[in-house]
Amino acid sequence: REERITLAHGAGGKATHTLIEAVFLESFRNPMLEPLEDGAVADGLAFTTDSFVVTPLFFPGGDIGDLAVNGTVNDLAMCGARPRYLSAGFILEEGFPVADLRRIAASMAQAARTAGVWIVTGDTKVVQRGKADGCYVTTSGVGTLERPVRLSAAAARPGDAVLVSGPIGEHGITVMLARGELDIEADLRSDTAPLNALTDLLLDACEDGAVRCLRDATRGGVATIVNEIAGASQVAVVLDEDAVPVRPAVRGACELLGIDPLYVACEGRMVAVVAGEFADAALAALRSHPLGSEAAIIGRINDDPPGLVLLRTSFGGTRIVDLLVGDPLPRIC
């Protein structure tokens, strides 16, 4: 047992999972929380929450405001729900410029319009100077389940295909570079975007039950998500490294930083596990939308070895891809 919270507990990988299971699930346990999916589902509703502590607050391609709206919209969409109502809780630092707050609120309003949701309730607290890095935002969301879906990380089966909706890692790398602490220049923008239009297209294109699982590849990146799926479904996820879309600027920055793009957070990309016979239809559906134009089939589900993720590397080898350990890129969402 670790005795103190570390940054790794917030990175979405192994330490986060352990903390959530040992402390939160242990205390709160109930059948809606237990599956630890992107949102909780019951009574025809989906319900989810995320806090955002990104620094800097403004970065190429977005800011904490649209990030917070899109993040919660996406967790609802991953449940197969139609995102409807959002809440917005602000923790503001004394001295924070009201002009910046207006910019963030405007960006949230715009993101809400784009995603087709309303921000219907909120809260505003202020903490002393030096706390809260200017502004933390917590969004929660309620969606309505209007499709007969039962999406679950535990639903992947051998023969299924694994898709990603676009190039990975842009959000995490963009935010890191925006801090200006690294001597790396790259022409990159965050991928923050609402995915509900994409999930609608995907679910429409496949017959009921063919879409097994949807997950937005946020903290911990694609590698962490597919590990969760492998573990929950007790299957092997076999990824083809060459098939994973990564923009050259992301690949270059990752090489300089010594990290694997598979672990870098996206905020507008999802992983979908789809029955093998619907893989092509799913791919076409994703590609029919601008946000999915670079979607790809990146792997498949095998029965063996259960619980593991294997990567067929560009060099023809195979290696195990584990849960994220530590926190290579802190505070990116």
Interacting residues with ligand ATP (CB under 6 A):
12, 16, 20, 24, 28, 33, 36-38, 50, 71, 75, 88, 90, 121-124, 218-219
Helix (H, G, I), strand (E, B) or coil at 52: strand
Closest CA to 138 of 183, 196, 72: 72
Q: Which residues ranging from 97 to 116 are in contact with a copy of itself (CB under 8 A)? A: 97-99, 101-102, 105-106, 108-109, 112
Identity of the residue, 123 or 304, whose beta carbon is nearer to ligand ATP in the bound complex: 123
What is the separation, in whole angstroms, between the first and last Cα of the chain? 26
Q: How far apart are CA 69 and CA 111, in angstroms?
A: 6
Residues in 274-303 that interact with a copy of itself by CB under 8 A = none
CA pair distance 15, 2, nearest whole angstrom: 10
Q: Measured from the CB atom, is 138 or 174 closer to Mg ion? A: 138
Q: Is position 18 an interface residue for a copy of itself (rule: CB under 8 A)?
A: no
List the beta bridge partners of residue 62: 59
Q: Which does 157 bind (CB under 5 to 8 A by kind): a copy of itself, ligand ATP, Mg ion, none?
A: none
Residue 228, interface with Mg ion (CB under 5 A)?
no
Residue 73: CB minimum distance to ligand ATP, A: 11
Least distance between ligand ATP and beta carbon 79 (Å): 10
How many CA atoms within 13 Å lie on the side-chain side of 120?
A: 11
Report the nearest approach of a copy of itself to the CB of residue 153 (Å).
15
Nearer to a copy of itself, 45 or 197 (CB): 45
Strand partners, 92: 126, 135
Q: Quick one: CA dihedral 224, 226, 232, 234, positive or negative?
A: negative
- CA–CA dist 267, 117 (Å, integer): 18
Among 13, 14, 50, 59, interactor with a copy of itself by CB under 8 A: 50
User: What number of chain residues touch Mg ion (CB under 5 A)?
Assistant: 6
Among 13, 14, 21, 52, the residue binding a copy of itself under the rule CB under 8 A is 52
**What is the distance between the alpha carbons of residues 187 and 304, in angstroms, rounded to a whole number?**
40
Residues from 30 through 49 that contact Mg ion (CB under 5 A): 38
